[in-house]
Amino acid sequence: MKTEADPVFAGNELRGRKFLKLTDLSKHELGYLLELAGELKQKHKSGMHEESLKGKTLGMLFEKPSTRTRVSFETGIFQLGGAGIFLNSDNLQLGRGETMADTAKVLSGYVDGMMIRTFSHNVLEEFAENAEIPVINGLTDMYHPCQVLADLQTILEEKGRLKGVKLAYIGDGNNMSHSLMTGAAMTGMDISIAAPDDYLPYTSVVQEALTSAGQTGGRVEVTSDPQEAAKQADVIYTDVWASMGQEGEQGNRKQVFSDFQVDAKLWSLANNDAIFMHCLPAHRGEEVTADVIDGKQSVVFQQAENRMHVQKALMTALMG
């Protein structure tokens, strides 16, 4: 599986690096990771596992609950011959006041890499600044780059290309919209983000994506009209209306986002061979109707599986 950003190097340049957001990669490095993920997936399906991280350990710090992130990372490093250690603030001295900087320095002496899933992106950056090992963003309120690596791999598998593919994201201008916009711009995709006026993505992220798209030939659009975004889309993507930590806003958000549901009417505006994507977990009857997410053009579980394959590629490149 070749990408438009075919690698011009063997991947050694990524060893020891930190991955906090997609722009920590060049477009060639991004293409390399997607190609490696495809190779690792093919080997996995044929029953072959490369133990490229034999004897290595990944620390996994969770300040937010998880299904996909924990299982995909823990299973992935096991398949690569290594081991994963689950950690959270309650069973670390972080819970008793030890600083994030001290924690990073201590753990750097024990493990070969860290994955962190937390609320504030500043917390992740503080850890990374004080760590002497690769650090991977498993999710913050600002970005979700591992998910978008899996999304790009899924689109490649389904469409055979990234450049020129139109992705319509319908919903909250959150961490998913930020990372999708960045990934689309880096790979020459066209992306249209449709969100209510008070829930648009950060202007700084939009401007960064516009600059990147200008270099790759992609297009970035932000609108408050979901119908306009969905027209002739090759991919329609949505996310929950209230993310973790926003439960108190659930009632208000249901009202604000009521016109942003991906239903059969909105779906009909996309191309006939469009695919539906969602990072999961999903709330059927809210951001998406059951007939769309459970329909034959939905690839949400393929996306979820691909989390493991892209993360195996990422760990191999950073920790190998």
What's the helix, strand, coil split of the chain in %, to 5? Answer: 50, 15, 35
Beta strands in 19-171 (DSSP E): 57-62, 83-88, 113-117, 135-139, 166-170
With both helix axes pointing from N to C terminus, report the angle between 300-319 and 145-159 in degrees, rounded to the nearest 10.
120
Classify each residue of 38-58 as buried b or exposed e, where b means 16 or more C-beta atoms within 10 Å of its C-beta.
bebbeebeeeeebebbeebbb
68, 278, 307, 309: the catalytic one is 307
Please say if 146 is a catalytic residue.
no
117, 219, 253, 309: the catalytic one is 117
Q: Give the whole-angstrom CA distance, residue 149 versus residue 183.
A: 8
Q: Give the whole-angstrom CA distance, residue 310 versus residue 156.
A: 13
Please say if 253 is a catalytic residue.
no
Please say if 284 is a catalytic residue.
no
239, 261, 278, 311: the catalytic one is 239
Please say if 261 is a catalytic residue.
no
> Residue 57 phi/psi, 5° resolution?
-125, 135
Please say if 303 is a catalytic residue.
no
68, 144, 219, 253: the catalytic one is 144
The alpha-helical segments, DSSP class H, found in 80-202 are: 100-108, 121-130, 145-159, 175-186
279, 303, 309, 311: the catalytic one is 279
147, 153, 261, 303: the catalytic one is 147
Please say if 121 is a catalytic residue.
no
Which residue numbers are catalytic? 117, 144, 147, 239, 279, 307
